[in-house]
Chains A and B, each alone.
Chain A
Amino acid sequence: MGISKLFVIYLIIAVVLRLFLWAEIRYIFGTDVGRFAEISHIFYLKGQITPDLRPYNMAYGFFYFLLPILIPTALEYASIDPVITMTALVFIFSILSCIVFYFIMKQFFDERKSAHMFFFYSIAFDIILIFGIAGIYSYALSVLWFFLSIYFINKIFFDGSKSWLNLGLVLALFSVTHIYLLIPLLCYCFALITYEIVKENSIKRTLFSIKQVLKSLIFPILINIPIIFIFGNYIGLQNDPINKGLMLAVSGYRESMNIYDRLYNIFFSSYTLMSSIIFMAGLLFFIVSIYKFRGRQFVWVFYSIYLFVHNIMAFNDTNLTRVISVVWMTYAIGFGNLLIIPFLNVGLIPLLYFVPSTTVPYYINVLEQKNVINENIYPWVLWDDFYKSIDYIKQNTAKDSIFLLDSGGAGCFGSSSSYGDRIFPLTSRKPFYFTDYCWAVWDYADYEKRVDIYRGISINPNNFTILQELKTYNVTHVFIGPYDVGLNYGLFDNSSYYEEVYNDRGFAIFEIK
């Protein structure tokens, strides 16, 4: 288990780049972070783990993997807000996963090559970082468990180790973080079994290894018993036709893609809307490096084949398409196999700074230039200004204030264009309506009524009748950010029914008179 000087140097570079990136980003706010911060804060306010999120949210039942919600809840008792916890977890899990990746590589390749593979993975293909900074938070965290599972499964298959206990504990954490990566883990197990079968290993030994892996499943089962007890009624909500249909509405356009577009998406595109020449080079390098493969290294070829079969079949499923990310492991293998001169590798970092891609240097470039790759997913440049408005709300509004936010919605579609929904986890002030996560149940009649009020106000804030309806819900404030969707700042500014109490760099707060 020795580690080389080269690995230590690469590790230092990876850590320094991440610290630099973290200092630039400061807070990750996008997509899932907001959803889970909201639930986490409700658990904290209610002092219990419960599927009933009322009165802070409309949902009376929900189900989601609990660990990514419970860690921020626990840290709130130490006065750390859930958004900061989630940001920190992304960076901590990111570097840990890179280290585990290195130890996985050492199970297949020599020390130096493993170090090179670690370098390229940590710089260009770090799944946790790529998904995490886009706010796809719980899926990102599960990558660490995915890697650790591979590491322990390898130990069982290759060393005849009885690591089922370790594997079991990791699978338990896996099962309460996010489970979509269990599918590529299955691909990986199939790849190992294929390798063993081709190698003509004794069937007895292969069966022993499979038995060890199966034995470890007792832990995820045990850890999920209390969760089933609390959330049992809502497990499976993701299969509810409305939820499935809504997800299909987002990804349905993919069905019309021709085979070339599909292949391009599977191999060269990240789920976070980035595609780049780095992915193309990764695939090319991996294919070229196969000629150097020996023995157990072929496991990665089989893994790619099974993963490809899955990815092409799951092409229309919004969530499963994220699984394309784990093919990037093989890209790092390709790079590390062929680019083996350390100072040239390190010399690529300044070059990557200019290549539009999902690499850490390019992210740093984007942040420094204050560019926005996609304002829905990477609105980093907002955060200092946003936190100022949060400070204003904390200091100048009553605790029971209720905010009408710009945009909103239910299920997977609902979120505020300027992330106004983050007001709740950061200040405990309630939004007028939000159920912005996918797997929840709520009073749909009440929800539609609120949507109509929101829509009426967004068309004409001076509509007295609708304003009175809004007031029956005790709404006291309106929050409009720089990326307004429905609520038009100008209309509120010109209305005598609202008084502007805050306006700074695109963020405005009105008090309803």
Chain B
Amino acid sequence: MTGVLQYLKSNRIRLIASLMFFSLIMVILTIKIAPPFDSKFNITCTKEYEDGLRCDFNCIFDTDILPVRMVINHRLWCSIYDKTVYNNSVDFSLPKRNYTYIMYAVANKENYFIISNGIFAC
């Protein structure tokens, strides 16, 4: 352990100052490249109709930042419905497959992103 202790003891002020300085640069740089998003909103979906072929949904986005870009996936990366919605409420139908679908919704105002994920079955 002596090697480590010696190393930490010698020039510890330089060490701490360097670590703090470069860590701070990494913090600033990372925030600049990948700003954290600000908030989430709720999606409320109601199934309004269902038969052997399809399910009809009405979803309400609890946000006043519009438009909202919505994407519906079944499995990761496989979008089956992709639409920009210009008001808080949207009606849509999906094929009846006994799947759990995921809706991703994103809205932005300049660099202010709001997002939400909703899960529903058909």
Q: How far is the CB of A440 from chain B (nearest CB, A)?
A: 14
Beyond A190-B22, A246-B71, A252-B115, whether A417 also contacts B78 by CB under 8 A is yes
Chain A residue at minimum C-beta to C-beta distance from B5:
A291
How far apart sit A186 and B28, CA to CA, in the bound complex (Å)? 13
- CB neighbors of A among B15-31 (8 A): 15, 18-19, 22-23, 25-27, 29-31
Cβ 8 A contact of B1, one of A187, A246, A291, A313: A291
Beyond A293-B3, A410-B79, whether A194 also contacts B104 by CB under 8 A is no
Residue contact B31 to A313, C-beta cutoff 8 Å: yes
Task: Say yes or no for A166: interface residue by CB 8 A criterion.
Answer: no
How far apart sit A460 and B53, CA to CA, in the bound complex (Å)? 7
Q: Which listed segment binds B: A87-95, A113-121, A303-311, A360-368?
A: A303-311
Beyond A309-B23, A313-B27, whether A290 also contacts B4 by CB under 8 A is yes
How far apart sit A376 and B78, CA to CA, in the bound complex (Å)? 9
Residue contact B7 to A310, C-beta cutoff 8 Å: no
Cβ 8 A contact of A246, one of B7, B30, B93, B106: B106
How far apart sit A306 and B111, CA to CA, in the bound complex (Å)? 26
Chain A residue at minimum C-beta to C-beta distance from B18:
A194
- Chain A residue numbers with a CB within 8 Å of B30 are 183, 309-310, 313-314, 320
How far apart sit A252 and B27, CA to CA, in the bound complex (Å)? 20
How far apart sit A73 and B73, CA to CA, in the bound complex (Å)? 31
How far apart sit A459 and B95, CA to CA, in the bound complex (Å)? 4
Residue contact B82 to A413, C-beta cutoff 8 Å: yes
Residue contact B40 to A314, C-beta cutoff 8 Å: no
Residue contact A316 to B4, C-beta cutoff 8 Å: no
Task: Mark interface residues in B84-108 (1 if CB within 8 Å of A CB, else 0).
Answer: 1000000001111101000011111
- Chain A residue numbers with a CB within 8 Å of B1 are 291
Beyond A248-B115, A313-B31, A460-B53, whether A255 also contacts B36 by CB under 8 A is yes
Task: Say yes or no for A244: interface residue by CB 8 A criterion.
Answer: yes
Task: Say yes or no for A245: interface residue by CB 8 A criterion.
Answer: yes
Residue contact B80 to A252, C-beta cutoff 8 Å: no
Cβ 8 A contact of B107, one of A200, A245, A460: A245
- Chain B residue numbers with a CB within 8 Å of A197 are 11, 14-15, 18
- Chain A residue numbers with a CB within 8 Å of B26 are 186-187, 190, 306, 309-310, 313
- Chain B residue numbers with a CB within 8 Å of A345 are none
How far apart sit A375 and B40, CA to CA, in the bound complex (Å)? 29
Of the listed residues B23, B79, B117, the one surrounded by the most CB atoms of chain A closer than 10 A to its CB is B79
Of the listed residues B15, B31, B82, the one surrounded by the most CB atoms of chain A closer than 10 A to its CB is B82
- Chain B residue numbers with a CB within 8 Å of A187 are 26
Cβ 8 A contact of B93, one of A31, A294, A407, A455: A455
Task: Mark interface residues in A421-445 (1 if CB within 8 Å of B CB, else 0).
Answer: 0000000000000000000000010
Task: Count A-B pairs with CB separation below 8 Å.
Answer: 180
Residue contact A245 to B82, C-beta cutoff 8 Å: no
Q: How far is the CB of B114 from chain A (nearest CB, A)?
A: 9
Residue contact B104 to A249, C-beta cutoff 8 Å: yes
Task: Say yes or no for A260: interface residue by CB 8 A criterion.
Answer: no
Task: Say yes or no for B47: interface residue by CB 8 A criterion.
Answer: no
Chain A residue at minimum C-beta to C-beta distance from B30:
A313
How far apart sit A291 and B36, CA to CA, in the bound complex (Å)? 36
Task: Say yes or no for A302: interface residue by CB 8 A criterion.
Answer: yes
Q: How far is the CB of B59 from chain A (nearest CB, A)?
A: 15
How far apart sit A292 and B106, CA to CA, in the bound complex (Å)? 49
Task: Say yes or no for A220: interface residue by CB 8 A criterion.
Answer: no
Task: Mark interface residues in A304-336 (1 if CB within 8 Å of B CB, else 0).
Answer: 011001100110110010000000000000000
Residue contact A249 to B105, C-beta cutoff 8 Å: yes
Chain B residue at minimum C-beta to C-beta distance from A417:
B78
- CB neighbors of B among A394-409 (8 A): 407-409
Task: Say yes or no for A448: interface residue by CB 8 A criterion.
Answer: yes
- Chain A residue numbers with a CB within 8 Å of B25 are 190
Residue contact B106 to A294, C-beta cutoff 8 Å: no
How far apart sit A321 and B94, CA to CA, in the bound complex (Å)? 32
Beyond A305-B19, A413-B73, A455-B93, whether A448 also contacts B4 by CB under 8 A is no
- CB neighbors of B among A232-255 (8 A): 241-242, 244-246, 248-250, 252-253, 255
Task: Say yes or no for A259: interface residue by CB 8 A criterion.
Answer: no
Task: Say yes or no for A358: interface residue by CB 8 A criterion.
Answer: no
Task: Say yes or no for B77: interface residue by CB 8 A criterion.
Answer: yes
- Chain B residue numbers with a CB within 8 Å of A485 are 74-75, 78, 80, 97, 99
Beyond A410-B82, A455-B93, whether A306 also contacts B33 by CB under 8 A is no
- Chain A residue numbers with a CB within 8 Å of B37 are 248, 252, 255, 316
Task: Say yes or no for A163: interface residue by CB 8 A criterion.
Answer: no
Task: Say yes or no for A416: interface residue by CB 8 A criterion.
Answer: yes
- Chain A residue numbers with a CB within 8 Å of B93 are 455, 459
- Chain B residue numbers with a CB within 8 Å of A508 are none
A-B contact pairs, 16 of them (CB 8 A): A248-B106, A255-B40, A292-B3, A293-B4, A309-B23, A309-B30, A310-B26, A314-B34, A316-B36, A376-B75, A409-B79, A448-B84, A455-B80, A459-B54, A485-B75, A485-B97
